[in-house]
A = this chain, B = another copy of it.
């Protein structure tokens, strides 16, 4: 970590941080292509579902209690899981925690970064405070996605091996989102990047212990990013090369950082639309194998009892993240266990929140779990993280071996979810957590799909609750 040849020294006068900050500060709604706006609205609605699904989850409610006892009793920004209001910092914190709990929030493959969980909590909280328009909210969100994705790609695979990129890159993404809504100048946006980057944190160590840190990471990435931008608006200065500098994020937390990725085709390549929706409620690293297995099962009309064992051919990152979980003790941990996910796929054809909640420790699932093995695959690993290929070998009790493959798991850009599928997913998630009644959900959906036409972003849940 102490010497990263690819990061810049003070002498080379690198300016990737500055270029990226300037892009985020200057982004206007008019410059964003129509299809990018539409996809961002889809990502927004998808985020609402994931956030409402977090209601009642122990770690989320714990962070909500902290926010209630530590923050103000009222404010301009809405906490979605209970409709209460507080300052933007705490709304971003609680909504950030909630969005990531059921593991169905979006993910960008190339950066292995979950943008929605850290970008939209900030976009909504500040838009509500400032009375910003839906166009402004979407513009700020796109700024956050474009920035965060590029930082995740820049930090590389060595970073993701130890650090939860959504916590680290996510803090700067949140700052970009907040900075855009606050209309920061390029110079102040760079200050916001500096303060956010020097607070960027999040380690994978918690996963083995089934600890609650994942919710803390998204909560604090959102809150600290927002804080960084608010401080910058007040004149608080940040480092000018926090990303690529000799003592910046990559110098400290990566050994394969590529500064060119930070400014990759800004304004031409819209990384936002490369973001995948999560169809299954599990770690994204399980999805390619899950879809490949499902394909084999459907095509061959297999019953789970006919399957003797399954080999999932995976990239190294999957082994790094999922390898820590052997015998899942909690629902959340089960979502990081390849065996459990493939078992649920075999029995139910879908690994959703209800399937995990009800069955992850059932005898047949536990038995099937033991029949699943992950092995490193050169082709899959080489394609990763740009493409997440799914390959499985299914050994049957009759001796046959069937091979399954998907090149784009369900939810990926080339196999994306329709608006109707996103609405259905949201309805299922809200029903799962009981955050809202059915009529309230329809009202919320109706408002949310028309976010771009809102002249002033109003309440999301409160509105729905009042109307219901």
Contacts and interface: CB of A to CB of B under 8 A. Distances in A.
Interface residues of A, number: 70
Given A205-B248, A237-B210, A255-B1, A216 B230 contact: no
A161 interface: yes
A66 B234 contact: yes
Chain A interface, DSSP helix/strand/loop, else mixed: helix
A239 interface: yes
Tell me the number of copies of this protein. Answer: 2
A198 B203 contact: yes
Contact of A198 (B63, B216, B237, B254): B216
Nearest to A73: B72
A235 B205 contact: no
Contact of A239 (B1, B161, B211): B211
A251 interface: yes
Contacts of A247: 161-162, 203-205, 207-208, 324
Contacts of A38: none
Given A72-B72, A220-B224, A227-B66, A162 B239 contact: no
A195 B213 contact: yes
Contact of A191 (B58, B69, B211): B211
28 contacts: A1-B255, A10-B324, A58-B235, A63-B236, A65-B234, A70-B87, A70-B90, A71-B72, A161-B247, A162-B251, A162-B252, A167-B198, A194-B205, A197-B203, A198-B202, A199-B201, A199-B202, A203-B239, A204-B247, A205-B249, A205-B251, A209-B237, A211-B237, A211-B239, A212-B236, A212-B238, A220-B224, A252-B253
Interface of A: 1-2, 10, 58-59, 62-63, 65-66, 69-73, 87-90, 158, 161-163, 167, 191, 194-195, 197-213, 216-217, 220, 224, 227, 230-231, 234-242, 245-249, 251-255, 324
